[in-house]
Amino acid sequence: MSIGVALSATEVDNQIDATVHLAREAAAAGLRSAWFGQRFGVDSPALAGIVGREVPGLQVGTSAIPIFGRHPLLVSSQAQTTQAATHGRYHLGLALGTKHLTEGGFGIPFERPVARLREFLVALRQLTETGTADFHGELITATTPLPAHVPGAEPGVPLLVAAMGPRALRVSGELADGILPYLAGPRVLAEHIVPAVTAAAEAAGRPAPRIVALVNGVVTDDVEGVREKVTEQMAIYEQIPSYTRVIELSGGRRASDVAVIGDERTVAAEVQRYRDAGATEVVFAGTDVAGDADRRRTWALLGELAG
């Protein structure tokens, strides 16, 4: 099973330089992939392209770009450029986003997100596989009066979706290559998420989907102190219905209840639980919450497990 980390360099003089440094450290520890979130700051596909060029041993991915406020033509250009820059090591993650950020940031009504996701994926798949599109949907139009292929980009950039709800999982199984569930513990993965997306893929005649489970976790001796920090940092997710649902179905009440925090034996056992639940890949996030020493300790364990 592939194991990676989500990288987020904060409180630094130069975020790009600092992220490349972290990526080199992650690769040296034996980790297989580095993933980058998308907010209103650094551009995630661009950062993935830079890191992929600087650290050739790593797969790189975006987790994940919200589809509202973006168009398949532009996202395809970003993805193909990064795919060419990394010689086929880029994985594009998409997300529905949230009502608060969509309407507050872009001034766009957060309406019919799953229908938009379906159309976005259909148009984007045409573009990344053929470099052309002639799609006329109810919500999205994407056509190519000029070629949209990036020479050097291998056809078919892997498309993943941060899907966890039943309708989004169905669309992702039918049209994407896999999913990026976050804050979804092994129980909800095994009982709800993996069966739903797998059944949708089978019904559509598609291969078994990738299940890239994003997990907040850290190896530490200060379990209670770290959990307190994680509780504070992750409280924002408890205001988003899609996350509260999977936290509850995972058996938790707070977002930090599904975080993996403990010594090497504890964390290794939890990684195995994710694998048993159907995760094909595990990506650890928030490994820096307890400081550099525990981050390096966490990465050393994950590198051993990946090997």
Q: Return the CATH number at 6.
A: 3.20.20.30
pLDDT, greater one: 101 or 276 = 276
- Is 144 in the same domain as 204? no
pTM: 0.95
**Does position 183 have pLDDT exceeding 90, yes or no?**
yes
* Residue 49: burial class (beta carbons within 10 Å; 0-12, 13-18, 19+): buried
Q: What is the pLDDT of residue 87?
A: 96
Region 80-102: mean pLDDT is 95
Q: Identify the pLDDT of residue 193.
A: 98
14 & 98 share domain: yes
Structural domain harbouring 42: 1-161
Final residue before a domain boundary, out of 130, 161, 192: 161
Q: Which pLDDT does position 10 carry in this prediction? A: 83
What is the per-residue pLDDT for 1? 58
289: helix, strand or coil: coil
Do 98 and 229 lie in one domain? The reply is: no
Which pLDDT does position 178 carry in this prediction? 98
3-29 in b/e form (b: 16+ CB < 10 A) is bbbbbbbeeeeeeeebbbbbbbbbbeb
Report the pLDDT averaged over residues 172-188: 98
Structurally, how many domains does the chain consist of? 2
Task: Tell me how far the alpha carbon of residue 280 is from its chain's centroid.
Answer: 13
Query: Quick check: 168 pLDDT over 80?
Result: yes
Confidence at 39, pLDDT banded by 50, 70, 90? confident
The per-residue pLDDT of the chain, averaged, comes to: 95
195-200: average pLDDT = 98
User: CA geometry: angle at 6 spanning 266 and 93, to 5°?
Assistant: 120
| Residue % of the chain over a pLDDT of 70 | 100
Q: What is the mean pLDDT of residues 40-51?
A: 95
**Whether residue 148 is found in the same domain as residue 209:** no
Where a domain ends, among 161, 195, 223?
161
